[in-house]
Chains A and B, each alone.
Chain A
Amino acid sequence: GAGVSQSPRYKVAKRGQDVALRCDPISGHVSLFWYQQALGQGPEFLTYFQNEAQLDKSGLPSDRFFAERPEGSVSTLKIQRTQQEDSAVYLCASSSRRQETQYFGPGTRLLVL
């Protein structure tokens, strides 16, 4: 079946611009995760949803980062007033209630100039 998809795959933003990154999880997966991956590093957790509820947002680096999943399916990660340090790959993963294995999308590569 279809895996996790993310869009756009690449985004170039000017410093100060707002961006929105989309994640389409595997159909029926109740859990959804966002991770941030800086160049040469492993992914780092940002936030976690179970259905539409955001249960953990402890990894969001600042209040400029906001995530939502209003209908318990598609999720959007929004970054306001982007800064150069926000440049990274943003990964989305989903998992089912029965199976704890997380399946990742291809990521969105964000470059802030």
Chain B
Amino acid sequence: DAKTTQPPSMDCAEGRAANLPCNHSTISGNEYVYWYRQIHSQGPQYIIHGLKNNETNEMASLIITEDRKSSTLILPHATLRDTAVYYCIVRAGGSQGNLIFGKGTKLSVKP
């Protein structure tokens, strides 16, 4: 079973920030938080990952709470092309094992 909890769906206005929450209350000290997204009819796309510090790249920012029990993926200026299912996954560092996907959050960006 997935070790994360996400809302099933969210809406966001185009041009506004999209903030996608994820709860991972049982996360272990060596587990990273990964985010992927899946646009309709495509394979999952890696977005970002982090351990305990906040992370930012060209796609998004990842904010992890101090107790590491939850995190938020931020898309600063959502566009229609960001409409997708977003998956939050926890995974042990140094692991070459498989990813365990939950149901994710369906983000709909509306004009």
Among A41, A97, A100, A107, which residue has its beta carbon within 8 angstroms of that of B43? Answer: A107
A30 to B103, CA, bound (A): 28
For A95, the closest partner residue in chain B by CB is: B96
Question: Contacts A48-B97, A59-B98, A95-B96 known; A104 to B103 CB distance under 8 Å?
Answer: no
Closest beta carbon of chain A to B3's beta carbon, Å = 13
User: Does chain B have a CB within 8 A of A62?
Assistant: no
Question: How many of B's residues come within 8 Å of A, CB to CB?
Answer: 23
User: Does chain B have a CB within 8 A of A102?
Assistant: yes
A104 B49 Cβ-Cβ under 8 A: no
Question: How many of A's residues come within 8 Å of B, CB to CB?
Answer: 25
Among B44, B85, B91, which residue has its beta carbon within 8 angstroms of that of A91? Answer: B44
Question: Contacts A41-B103, A42-B103 known; A50 to B43 CB distance under 8 Å?
Answer: no
For B91, the closest partner residue in chain A by CB is: A100
Tell me which residues across on chain A come within 8 A of B96, comparing CB atoms: 31, 48, 50, 95, 97, 100
Closest beta carbon of chain B to A29's beta carbon, Å = 11
Among A4, A41, A45, A104, which residue has its beta carbon within 8 angstroms of that of B98? Answer: A45
Measuring CB to CB, which residues of chain B are less than 8 angstroms from any residue of chain A? 2, 34, 42-46, 49, 85, 87, 91, 93-104
Q: Pick the 9 closest A-B CB pairs, nearest first.
A: A42-B101, A104-B43, A45-B98, A104-B44, A43-B101, A106-B43, A107-B43, A31-B96, A101-B46
Given contacts A33-B98, A93-B99, A100-B96, 9 further A-B contacts (CB under 8 A): A41-B103, A42-B85, A43-B101, A45-B99, A48-B98, A100-B91, A101-B34, A103-B46, A105-B43
